[in-house]
Structure 1
Amino acid sequence: MAPRPIRFADWLLDQSGNRGILIDLGVAIDFEEEDSVISDEARTGSRFFQSCEILDYLTDLAEGEDPPPHDYLDDLEAFFNLVSFCFFKYKPDGTDRSQTDKARLIVEGWDSEDPKVALDAKNMLFTPARRYRQKVLQLIGQSWGEACKTLFKEFLEWVWRIQEEKGRLVQEYIDAQEELERMKEQLKARGIEPDPKVFEPAKESIFSPLFNQSDDHYVQVLKIFDKAIDSVVKSTPVPEPTRLINVFGLGASSGKRRRTQSIAPSRNGPPVKVVCISPEAPAS
């Protein structure tokens, strides 16, 4: 099941320890395992969460070109955009960032109706040489903590590697098609009709080398999140142990009402919890 679209309103977060819930599957694609081709999906998600590749093919410069089908890698990039939405529009306590908060500038333009504006805004993060990326990571660390900063950095780098690999495969395909066209023209110039079977377009996706690694891709992304969750859990302060003292020397079975109070720890020991036994009768 490939969900369409992926956006902030389609996710419900449960209590700690439980999985999130994906809703609004009205435009999902349901396909069987043996299906080799998934048809193009016109509704490719809300602008804010669309992948850079989808936006690239929606610009005026790409007008008339056939975009590749929306695939699971676009969905994983949409998850990255969802993480960005949370980090830069909200504080860790769940409240909205103020309209003057600099964090909002990072995702400014991501939801523009003009795909080129949205693409240019998102591409600011995917330029390694720019100081912009370092400022973004610094901001996340200051507001969300080091674990979230590392998560964002690793997820960003993963998405960037996928984008680069897709770009390389697209360029290889374009170069191959141009070479085939030159060969066809050379044959025609010699009075030879090109064999359609030889020059028939390949049926498998140009991204097949990536799709063959789909299981690994999901594992890689999940590991990024598991690592961050583990880091947060380990950094959570553990309550200090306490010592119990019964000041009147009466046992717990005396039937008296008990009152507890913590006092400052001794120099070499844990805090002391004093158990005071009240002379009052036990509550009914």
Structure 2
Amino acid sequence: MVSYEDNRAQTKDFMGEPIALKDNTLKNRTKIRIIMKAYGPSIEKFSSVTQVLSALRDAIAAHKALLDRNIIHRDISPNNILFGLDECERGVLIDLDLALKSLGPLSEIPVDFRTGTRTFQSLMVLRSYNLNPVFVPEYDYLDDIEAFFWVFAYIVFTYAPNGDRLPFKDHRKLPQWLWNDGSPCLIFARKFTFLDSPSAALDAQDAMHPGWKATCCDLFLEFREFVHEISYEKQRLVYKGWKEHRRPAPDRFASLLAKVDEHYASLLGMFDAALKKVAEAGIDETCVEDSGVDILLILQEPIDERIHLPNKATITKADAKALNPTFLNRAPKGSNFKTEETVLVYLKRIQTLRKVWISCKKISRCSGDRAKVFQRLDPHLAFNNRNILKLVVVLFEGNIQMQAQKWITKNSA
């Protein structure tokens, strides 16, 4: 934090003397202003499994640090989790405009379905939509922890492990709670089913990109079970201790909130174990970068002389190590293939080409209007890799070649 101003204004000064303020159902709010350092982009701009897991892990640790200072965030979402700067924290938690001063793990403000982003709200926050106001519990740190799970699930189900947004056609498999098109009551029912249904774990794995299954499926299932146990216990205790309709509500969740240190230690341990697994297995999905090597080098050679590339969904460092001597012998003068890391980047670039090539072939066979083919390929070429555009031209003739050449002239000059 660079600077801050507290008590700039209070809502009670603009409301007169409403009854709701007197009977404590309407809370007074104080306006403050905080100036923070600029950090990296949103967590949705990740390029590898390690990057997204590290950012989430550090954001959860930051949340614990806020709680230790009696602050509860209340607005956990992808836009509020940023990547840290180089040589600093891997993930940064921002946007405290909805944050509250807390009494340890519990705030003084009841949960409210109008606070936060619907897709990432906890079950108890959503339930406040149709729960008798006198039974609505206060917002606590576990509501934010559950929101971290929904952020993680959102990323796993809508992105590939290298950061590419999954095509819309794949969304039919997604859990229905991801669609922010229903009432809080409906989203609550969908999320509750996702956590409680015995088949939900299998359905989730079926909806995941294969790369996520190989890298952090165990983490996802453990995190889901962690949230399920807590949310189930909250639903069980929500009416506990009520003898009459009164405020403040009895401390129904004391047995849960007493485990605050245990909860954070368990959750951070899950992420640390997952990061260790990814590092040891060398199975991280990394975004393909342009290393300046001519991508058409191998593709222009006779088929029987090309380097044999692994036909796998996920290319690992082990594959790169096995092919490293071959790349050293076949590489043009000036190319740098001395390390497995360089070979890995090159292999993944070729893997991307292969996917684009397959897409081109499928579309060319089924499309009656060749002029529309390249428009449908446009999302694959959004990263503006000129060599991939060259490849598309090489693969096709006639009308599609002309369309491709026009696109290259327009977008890659």
In structure 2, the partner of 1:208 is 254
Partners of 1:66 and 1:215 lie apart in 2 by 27
Tell me the secondary structure at the aligned position of residue 110 of structure 2. coil
1:162 paired with 2:208, answer no
Pairwise CA distance, 1:104: 5.8
Q: Is residue 2:100 matched to residue 1:29?
A: yes
Alpha-carbon contact 1:48-1:81 (below 8 Å) kept? yes
* Residue 41 of structure 1: how far off its partner (Å): 5.8
Query: Greater helix percent: which structure?
Result: 2
Cα 1:166/1:41, change in 2 over 3 Å: closer
Q: 1:30 aligns to what SS in structure 2? A: strand
Superposed CA deviations along residues 121-144 of structure 1, whole A, max 9, x for unmatched, are 212311242x34312124436241
Mapped contact 2:111–2:137 kept (Cα < 8 A): no
CA deviation digits over 1:196-245, x for unaligned, max 9?
xxx998875110111111110111111111111110000113675999xx
Please say if 1:126 is aligned against 2:172: no
Question: Which one has the largest radius of gyration?
Answer: 1
Determine the C-alpha separation between the residues in 1 that align with 2:179 and 2:98: 22
What secondary structure is seen at the aligned counterpart in 2 of 1:165?
Answer: helix
Query: In structure 1, how many angstroms separate the alpha carbons of the residues matched to 2:91 and 2:263?
Result: 20
Q: Which residue of 2 aligns with 1:98?
A: 167
Q: Which residue of 1 aligns with 2:220?
A: 152
Partner of 1:74: 143
SS at match of 1:96: coil
Quick check: 50-59 or 205-214, which moved more?
50-59
Q: 1:116 aligns to what?
A: 185
Following superposition, the deviation at residue 7 of structure 1 comes to: 1.1
CA deviation digits over 1:231-270, x for unaligned, max 9? 0000113675999xxxxxxxxxxxxxx99987xxxxxxxx
Unaligned runs of 5+ in 2: 1-70, 283-316, 326-333, 339-413
Q: Does 1:46 align with 2:117?
A: yes
Cα separation, partners in 2 of 1:149 and 1:141, compared to 1, 3 Å = farther
1:64 is displaced (CA, Å) by 4.4
Task: Name the amino acid aligned to 1:144.
Answer: W
Displaced runs of 4+ in structure 1, greater than 6 A?
199-203, 258-262
Q: CA deviation at 1:28?
A: 1.3
- Give 1:228-247 correspondences, 5 Å limit: 228-236=274-282, 237=317, 240=321
| TM superposition shift of 1:154 | 0.2
Opposite residue 166 of structure 1, the aligned amino acid is: K
CA distance in 1, matches of 2:83, 2:145: 18
Change (3 A) 1:90 1:107: farther
CA distance in 2, matches of 1:261, 1:56: 57
Measured against aligned partners, the alpha-carbon deviations of 1:101-138 in whole angstroms (never above 9, x if no partner) come to: 14662145542351112112212311242x34312124
Name the % identity: 28
1:8, CA displacement in angstroms? Answer: 1.4
Aligned residues of 2:173 and 2:207 also touching (Cα < 8 A): no
SS at match of 1:12: strand
Please tell me the root mean square deviation across aligned C-alpha atoms, in Å.
Answer: 3.4
Match of 2:126 in 1: 55
Asked whether the equivalents of residues 156 and 209 of structure 2 are also in contact (C-alpha less than 8 Å), the reply is no
Inter-CA distance 261–140: structure 2 relative to 1 (3 Å threshold): closer
Aligned length: 222
Distance 2:335 2:83 in 1: 39
Does the CA contact (< 8 Å) of 1:110 and 1:119 recur in 2? no
2: CA distance between counterparts of 1:47 and 1:259?
50
Cα 1:36/1:73, change in 2 over 3 Å = closer
Output the CA distance in 1 between the equivalents of 2:207 and 2:155. Answer: 13
Contact 2:122 2:143 in 1 (8 A): yes
1:11 aligns with 2:53: no
Structure 1 residues 17, 103: CA separation in 2 closer, same or farther (over 3 Å shift)?
A: farther
Q: Deviations over 1:24-72 (max 9, x none)?
A: 1122123476x9753336553111110011111213xx25444101110
Q: TM-score under structure 1 normalisation?
A: 0.66
